[in-house]
Amino acid sequence: MKNRMKSCLIVGRFSSRATNFWPRKSKSAQQKFPSEVNLTSENYGEHKHAEPPRTNSGIDIEHGIRFGKPQAEHPLPQPRTQVRLPDLRYSETLTEMTSGKQPADLPQTDLPQASFVKGLGLVSATTLVMGSMIGSGIFIVSADIARQVKSPGLLILCWLIGAALTLIAALSYGELAAAMPHAGGQYVYLREAFGRLWGFLYGWTLFVVIQTGTIAAVAVAFAKYAGVFLPSISAGKYLLGSGNIGLTTQQLLAIAVVVLLSIINTRGVRTGALVQNVFTFAKVASLLGLVGLGFLLGRNPQAIAVNFHDIWRGATFNWATIALIGSAMVGPLFSSDAWNNVTFTAGEVRNPKRNLPLSLGLGVGTVSILYIACNFVYLSVLTLPQIQTAPEDRVATAVVSVMFGPVATKLMAIAIMISTFGCCNGMIMSGARVYFTMARDNLFFRRAGELDSRHHTPVFALIIQCVWTCLLTLSGRYNDLLDYVIFAVLLFYILTIGGLFRLRRTRPDLERPYRAWGYPILPALYMLVASLIEILLLVNKPTFTVRGLILVLLGVPVYFFWRSPAKAPSLANEARPI
């Protein structure tokens, strides 16, 4: 018997033979000793590349090798017991968060265990950061900023401050992303730092308008510039109805773009990443072309003399100027927004503890340099009054017109269509992961927490996001809603970076492969400057900021509705801390 116990235990595909190999125990012995966990022939092939799991009795249950003496309380394993283990090639289940809490304190769910495919490398993660940031804003918003600050120097200063704040925030988020590399990103950070209510309020605002409203606005921008080539695509061409109740050809194309990209992203994260990579490289190339050709071919000596020889003209450094800059910062900050979307897909990033912080730093840094360079080109080609009065605020088109004449309109239309299409794809792909995680916490529609068994994508979350985005597109009110949540978006950034400080204090043992650069000075500086901008927005634009705050607070009763007994989940599958 000792020789047989020392021999190899065959499991997996030969589990039936292994059952006969060991002597049967009596019924009383089976009750006395707990059974072992085995792989079966059904799932052996899925785990052959994973690290072999080990049982308490000292058995390598993949290869059937006994590598140590069995513990006294487990003298004999039970090969008959079959428990399906999670596929270790994919990320951990989202209900198992690194919170260190006891199972009873964690969100409970009776949804099936779910896992994502690790399909995003460093390049794909970086293009997701860059592609989500670059939309149509950089081609347009400088006109509005110039009208507000009335100074070439202050125009550049606004973009420099916006770049610095965004980069500090990205480097701070890098620590949170590396410590908690789970799908949901910022939702998870707020939940772990301040509790489920704050996480839900962010997810609620994200779904209601931040993500979906931005997708709708960017998709309409794509359709608007497509009208340059197809005049029948216009906001004035109605297919159904008229006025605020109707369907225009422009809205129809925008909806078609949203539906198409949503379908593409149901086919798997690698498919969505391929689209993102192609369009991000194309839009970066277009920005590089604008910068390079602008400096080489578009230099206007008159504009350079007027704008740079007295760059601070019109600027008086007092409180009024600070207030002016604070209000004007809306353009640079939200032209650079959506950089955090890569954290939503953290569960699908390979080696996330390295690649997430690196992609945030590389992506935000590259885009910020391009944005600042574009504004230097604008000031090198156009005078400040020309920038302020650019037709329909299309500053980039006016710059290209100086170099190429009337064909500039079509060239810039192509560039903006590429930019907006890629931006839509990145936001559609990433946003659904937040709703997925909320559903796993029983704070969103149940089916949103399920993954497609073949492609490992949150199909229902993508569908519901698509439907709401299309409704916002039809309403035509997405721009108003976006104005309302500018205050709220910045508030959530401040709270999340505040969570970095809180988690350093409350969770000192949390593994942090990357620590925020410049902590605590730079994160604290971000919170201080961003809070000042919030105050200035509240004073100068109370209508938008108050309505935005109300929109966020409307999520409080919705949160308690999702937590009501009618929504309470089964306790059959308790979440377990890692």
Q: Are residues 57 and 124 in the same domain?
A: no
- Classify residue 376: in a domain, yes or no: yes
Q: Are residues 306 and 441 in the same domain?
A: yes
Q: Are residues 182 and 257 in the same domain?
A: yes
Q: Are 376 and 156 in contact (CB under 8 A)?
A: yes
Q: Are residues 453 and 548 in the same domain?
A: yes
pLDDT at 70: 43
pLDDT at 357: 96
pLDDT at 202: 97
What would the two tokens of residue 118 be?
Answer: 């690790």
- Classify residue 264: in a domain, yes or no: yes
- Classify residue 72: in a domain, yes or no: no
- Classify residue 79: in a domain, yes or no: no
Q: Are 40 and 14 in contact (CB under 8 A)?
A: no
242 CB neighbour count, 10 Å cutoff: 9
Q: How far apart are CA 562 and CA 196, in angstroms?
A: 12
Q: Are 97 and 578 in contact (CB under 8 A)?
A: yes
pLDDT at 478: 62
- Classify residue 418: in a domain, yes or no: yes
Q: Are residues 298 and 443 in the same domain?
A: yes
Of 17, 48, 66, which residue constitutes the final position of a domain? 66
- Classify residue 283: in a domain, yes or no: yes
pLDDT at 427: 96
Q: Which domain holds residue 336?
A: 103-567
Helices 211-226 and 459-475 sit at what angle, rounded to 10 degrees?
A: 60
C-alpha 304: how far from its chain's center? 39
Q: Are residues 215 and 323 in the same domain?
A: yes
Of 66, 83, 111, which residue constitutes the final position of a domain? 66
What would the two tokens of residue 154 be?
Answer: 């202050």
* 369 membership: H or E segment, kind and range: helix 352-381
ω into 520 cis (within 30 of 0): yes
Beta bridge pairs of residue 82: 38
Q: Are 456 and 269 in contact (CB under 8 A)?
A: yes
- pLDDT digits 0-9 by tens, 476-523: 766 666 677 778 889 999 999 999 999 999 999 999 999 999 999 999
- Classify residue 572: in a domain, yes or no: no
C-alpha 518: how far from its chain's center? 24
Pick the closest to residue 536 from 464, 486, 475, 499 (CA basis): 486
pLDDT at 136: 87
Q: Are 534 and 491 in contact (CB under 8 A)?
A: yes
Pick the closest to residue 380 from 303, 287, 297, 305 (CA basis): 303
End-to-end CA distance of the chain: 39
pLDDT at 36: 36
Q: Are residues 108 and 35 in the same domain?
A: no
- pLDDT digits 0-9 by tens, 332-344: 988 998 999 999 9
- The full 3-state SS of 115-130, as one line of letters, equals CCCCCECHHHHHHHHH
The CATH number for 522's domain is: 1.20.1740.10
The one-letter amino acid at 240: L
In the predicted model, residues of the chain with pLDDT beneath 50 are: 1-110, 568-578
- Classify residue 576: in a domain, yes or no: no
Name the DSSP class of 299: -
* 310 membership: H or E segment, kind and range: none
Q: Are 205 and 552 in contact (CB under 8 A)?
A: yes
Its pTM stands at: 0.78
Q: Are residues 53 and 122 in the same domain?
A: no
The C-alpha angle with vertex 94 and arms to 89 and 98, in degrees rounded to 5, equals 100
Q: Are residues 58 and 139 in the same domain?
A: no
Q: Are residues 28 and 143 in the same domain?
A: no
Sequence-separated (6 or more) residues with CB below 8 Å from residue 217: 478, 479, 482
C-alpha 191: how far from its chain's center? 16
Q: Are residues 20 and 116 in the same domain?
A: no
Q: Are residues 6 and 109 in the same domain?
A: no
Domain count, the chain: 2
Of 10, 40, 66, which residue constitutes the final position of a domain? 66
pLDDT at 486: 78
